[in-house]
Amino acid sequence: MTYRRAFCALLLFTSPLAAQDTTTRGVRIGLTYDPGSKLGVVVLRGAGTGADSIRAIVQRDLDFGDRISVIRIDSPSDTGRDVVPNWAVLAKLGAAAAVQITPTPTGMHLAVYDVAKQTTALVREYVAPAMSDLRGWRAALHGLSDDIEESFTGTRGIARTRVLFERAKRIYVADSDGEQVVALTPTASVMSPSWSPNGQSMVYTNWQPPAHVVVHDLTTGRERTVFSGGGVSVTPVFSPDGSTIAFGHGVDDGVDIYAVDAAGTNVRRLSVGHGSDNTSPTFSPDGRRLAFMSGRAGHPELYTMDADGANFSPLTPLDFGENAYRANPDWSPAGQTVAFQSMISGIFQIMTINLRDLGMKQLTSDGKNEEPSWAPDGRHLVFSSNRSGSKQLWVVDVETGRTRQLTRGAAVRNPSWSPRLSSN
């Protein structure tokens, strides 16, 4: 038995704790630990049907958030709720906190323990569907994980978010951990999905002639066309307030950025590309500016302009040569950086540009990497990459460079990370 397993075997529980008041979401727990390092957390095994699955999913959610160091141990099952853990052993393992989730008839019971103070820091009851409703049950559990991360770090997690993507010209959606992949569109002529700011609908392009921009209600499945003007219509996105959809459109010579009210009225042209292709608009978080790709310099670069088309200016330097190709921008949730793909030594890589000093940072180097999309925490990006042999979605932590694979199977492209979701 290894040193760690020997201590894990000692993680026995003693007398029950007195139940404490249930807290509301967003309560910060004042744990004692070095703020310069990741918080060490043990997820204790609960008891009851589904307890092992709950533990595995929460461990993965906290690990994928990249703000918590999950200490994985083989602990015995609890025989009840709110039972005192072995503080000495938890401290020896380097844990600042321990959490335990116990299934209940109506959902899940969460207990969080402060190891240094040897106290129960938080108790909360969660209502959740039965495990037979796997999607709803997992969504509730991901929300619980996000509550835990917010309580520990002050930053809400992204477990209860989802990612849209295109596969074989159909649109699919997956949970933030890559599970629960579901096809959303039946036709094989759609592309470039993007979320609405409330997460209740998406917008995409349907290539069936004439090409048109479609809003799809993710709750009812109902669709409505908001623009159809012949030619090409590509890369639609919602404004942060949901009132406007910007997209690339062209009929004969070149493609320009257009906008249309979300109701499908008041179409207006925003860019004047003089026959060049202008696509992939992305709004600043306050909705006042747009970044987009334009080929007006003779090759693709990134530019910005006001949301009404005024004050046009270059964003990336107008380089020439084999690296002169920058495309697919996505404005970060905090508004300080824009992610994009850039040609580096003949291969696309994911980069960011800081809007304060225009400094650029390369985030990838393995394989061909394209189409970045920010998570709502502003720390993670999803992108497409062929590093595994076929084009799949990967996630990178922009602070540490840590990556993980999100999808598997048939090739995918055009990911879009959802806002924080409050419903299934």
pLDDT tens by residue, the chain, 424 residues: 343 433 343 333 333 333 333 334 444 565 555 556 789 999 998 888 999 999 999 999 999 999 999 999 876 554 456 567 889 999 999 999 999 999 999 999 999 999 999 999 999 999 999 999 999 999 999 999 999 999 999 999 999 999 999 999 999 999 999 999 999 998 778 999 999 999 999 999 998 888 899 999 999 999 999 999 889 999 999 999 999 999 999 988 899 999 999 999 999 999 999 899 999 999 999 999 999 999 999 999 999 999 999 999 999 998 777 678 999 999 999 999 999 999 999 999 999 999 999 999 999 999 999 999 999 999 999 999 999 999 999 999 999 999 999 999 999 999 999 999 985 4
Write the single-letter amino acid at 67. Answer: R
> In terms of DSSP bridges, do strands 39-44 and 68-71 run parallel, antiparallel, or are they unpaired?
parallel
Q: Please check whether residues 191 and 313 belong to one and the same domain.
A: yes
Is 148 within the bounds of a domain?
Answer: yes
Q: Among the three residues 122, 153, 184, which one is the final residue of a domain in this structure?
A: 153
131 lies in the same domain as 206: no
**Any domain includes 422:** no
Angle 15-152-38 from CA coordinates, rounded to 5°: 105
Q: Are residues 172 and 306 in the same domain?
A: yes
Instruction: Please tell me the total count of domains within the chain.
Output: 2
Instruction: Judge whether 423 lies within some domain.
Output: no
- My answer on whether 292 and 331 are in the same domain is yes
* DSSP code per residue over 49-116: TTHHHHHHHHHHHHHHHTSEEEE---PPPPSSSSB---HHHHHHTT-SEEEEEEEETTEEEEEEEETT
Clarify whether residues 297 and 407 are in a common domain.
yes
- pLDDT of amino acid 74: 75
Note whether residue 144 is domain-resident. yes
Instruction: Kindly state the tokens that stand for 271.
Output: 């860019």
SS3 6: helix
Query: Residue 229: which domain range?
Result: 162-417
- Distance CA(288)–CA(290), nearest Å, equals 7
Residues 138 and 190 in one domain: no
Per-residue tokens: 369: 């990497």
Is position 322 within any domain?
yes
Please tell me the predicted confidence (pLDDT) of residue 238: 98
Query: What b-and-e string marks burial along 30-49, b requiring 16 or more CB atoms within 10 Å of the CB?
Result: ebebeeeeebbbbbbbbbbe
Q: Are residues 80 and 142 in the same domain?
A: yes
Q: Are residues 123 and 207 in the same domain?
A: no
Q: Which of 97, 129, 153 is the last residue of a domain?
A: 153
Across the beta sheet with 380-385, the strand order is 369-374, 380-385, 392-397, 403-405
User: Is residue 263 included in any domain, yes or no?
Assistant: yes
Do 128 and 211 share a structural domain? no
**Within-domain flag for 32:** yes
Query: What is the domain-level CATH number for residue 116?
Result: 3.40.50.10070
pLDDT at 28: 54
| Shared-domain flag, residues 181 and 321 | yes
Domain stops at, among 87, 122, 153: 153
Q: How would DSSP label each residue in 225-267?
A: EEEE-SSEEEEEEE-TTSSEEEEEEESSS-BEEEEEETTS---
Residues 265 and 184 in one domain: yes
Q: Are 176 and 231 within one domain?
A: yes
Q: What local confidence, expressed as pLDDT, does residue 210 receive? A: 84
CA 340 to chain centre: 16
The single residue listed with the structure tokens 């980069």 is 351
- Name the strand (E) or helix (H) holding 140: helix 134-153
Q: What is the CATH number of the domain that holds 202?
A: 2.120.10.30
